[in-house]
Amino acid sequence: MDMKVYFDNAASTRVCDEAIDVMTTVMRDCYGNPSSLHECGFSAKKFLENARCEVAASMGAKPENICFTSGGTEANNWSVFGSAEKYARKGKHIITSAIEHSAVSDPIKKLENSGWDVTYLYPDENGRITGEVFADVLCEDTVFASIMLVNNETGVVNPVKAYSDEIKRRKLDTVLHTDAIQGLCKIPFTVKSTGADLITVSSHKIHGPKGVGALYIKDGVKIAPFILGGSHEKGIRGGTEALPAAVGFGKAAESGMTEYGSVSAHVLSLREYIIKRLHDEVPGFVCILNEDAKFSGNCGITDDKVDLCNISNSPFILPLSLPGYMSEVLMTFLSGEGICVSRSAACKKGARSRTLEAMKLRNDVIDGALRISFSRYNTEEEAEYFVQMMKRASQVLLKKL
């Protein structure tokens, strides 16, 4: 069998037809600047604001609380540096986790090197940052906290609402940020159900174009502008908006919200199929996390009543391992058979997974780890082909001595 299988959707996704169509229309017929005060500008502005409404709706937010950015990295950087600049006079303590994306951890390390006090929280055996460990380190001087909603390597869902509730219980002014890039249109959440003040989302993880993301900023929360140079985005993010990308993002978010129930059930079935078949066919296979992960797929994606504490994993990400083999060798073998997977976050370019190390997994499990991530376009036929190629890899590759 000669197949091409893309199982690296946590890194980036195929752009959906709905997004392509609206982007093509905007690039061809509505090329004005949204800030221009003439007919072409007004038309462009209408497209932009409609996209803002679509992104907002996909996370249960008000459109006026959504600011478009160049992507998730900018939105994460803006959250960290913008909050630090605005609230430094109130304290110099930051809480984050040891399993954050580098778009959060690197800016925080820069602040730490300049004198900020940073507390790094480590996950439990299930890969989760519990509400209890957060509460233990939260203090009067904590002005900013950032813990991701869904881990990009394991799919573990963190109880962000528990952090928010603890901040409110103590009546602190701590600004809570969550990177929800792997959560948008993949697990049911809203800005209300997280309780976060700042939320980062990105387009190209949900079948939208690359180069655009958004930052949700809660009413009453002020952060310093990150890019200066105009009155765009209510004067807090300078630069002409990338209109074609923004409308593509909006349409992908709308589609993702509409099709959430069927798509989540589909990818969950693929996840379960692969786990069972690997157990049957590949001796030594390890599913890194709980195989019977709790997942709420029956509710609406923007249900404010969803308790994130009752959702353990995203069905879109499956971390697995073949101990005794090296993940780089496995990836090369699979790539040669037309299968695209990764070993950790794409931005790490082959570096060892900080997340799996923070979970204190065995070295051979970490060294043989792969991340499989799904989308609406994957099929059971592809899943079976992947299983068979993993079986062949275990038979023809030499184990690490």
Q: What letter would DSSP give residue 398?
A: P
Three-state SS at 104: helix
pLDDT of residue 202: 98
pLDDT band, residue 298 (cuts 50/70/90): low
Statement: residue 240 has pLDDT above 80: yes
Half-sphere exposure of 246 (CA within 13 A, CB side): 26
Statement: residue 299 has pLDDT above 60: no
Average pLDDT over residues 43-71: 97
Give, for 73, the enclosing helix (H) or strand (E). helix 72-87
pLDDT of residue 1: 54
- With beta carbons less than 8 A apart as the criterion, state whether 68 and 237 touch: yes
Average pLDDT over residues 38-55: 96
Statement: residue 291 has pLDDT above 70: no
Question: How much is the mean pLDDT over the chain?
Answer: 93
pLDDT band, residue 311 (cuts 50/70/90): confident
What does the alpha-carbon distance between residue 21 and residue 370 come to, in Å, rounded to a whole number?
34
pLDDT of residue 344: 65
Q: Would you call 299 a catalytic residue per the annotation?
A: no
pLDDT in tens, 86-106: 999 999 999 999 999 999 999
pLDDT of residue 302: 72
pLDDT band, residue 231 (cuts 50/70/90): confident
- With beta carbons less than 8 A apart as the criterion, state whether 216 and 251 touch: no
Statement: residue 308 has pLDDT above 90: no
C-alpha distances in Å from residue 41, one per residue of 46, 115, 214, 241: 9, 45, 22, 12
For the whole model, what pTM was predicted?
Answer: 0.94
Query: From its phi and psi, is residue 192 left (phi > 0), alpha (psi between -120 and 50) or beta?
Result: alpha
The position carrying tokens 């209890």 is 132
Domains, the chain, with CATH or none: 5-15+259-394 (3.90.1150.10), 17-256 (3.40.640.10)
pLDDT band, residue 353 (cuts 50/70/90): confident
Q: Lowest mean pLDDT: which of 152-156, 302-306, 353-357? A: 302-306
Statement: residue 400 has pLDDT above 80: no
Statement: residue 186 has pLDDT above 80: yes
pLDDT of residue 295: 61
Pick the closest to residue 187 from 81, 309, 69, 342 (CA basis): 309
Statement: residue 158 has pLDDT above 90: yes
Statement: residue 395 has pLDDT above 70: yes
Q: Over pLDDT 70: what percentage of the chain?
A: 93
- With beta carbons less than 8 A apart as the criterion, state whether 374 and 315 touch: yes
pLDDT of residue 171: 97
pLDDT of residue 296: 53
- Active-site residue identified among 67, 287, 309, 347: 347
CB count in 10 Å sphere of residue 288: 22
Tell how far CA 333 is from the center of its chain. 27
What does the alpha-carbon distance between residue 2 and residue 36 come to, in Å, rounded to a whole number?
52
The position carrying tokens 């970490």 is 366
Average pLDDT over residues 192-204: 97
pLDDT of residue 310: 75
pLDDT band, residue 349 (cuts 50/70/90): low
Statement: residue 165 has pLDDT above 70: yes
- With beta carbons less than 8 A apart as the criterion, state whether 55 and 201 touch: yes
pLDDT of residue 375: 98
- With beta carbons less than 8 A apart as the criterion, state whether 400 and 325 touch: yes
Task: Enter the tokens of residue 338.
Answer: 């037309």
Q: Please, what sign has the CA dihedral across residues 207, 209, 211, 212?
A: negative
Q: Lowest mean pLDDT: which of 15-29, 160-174, 332-346? A: 332-346
pLDDT of residue 176: 98
Most distant pair of Cα atoms in the chain: their distance: 70
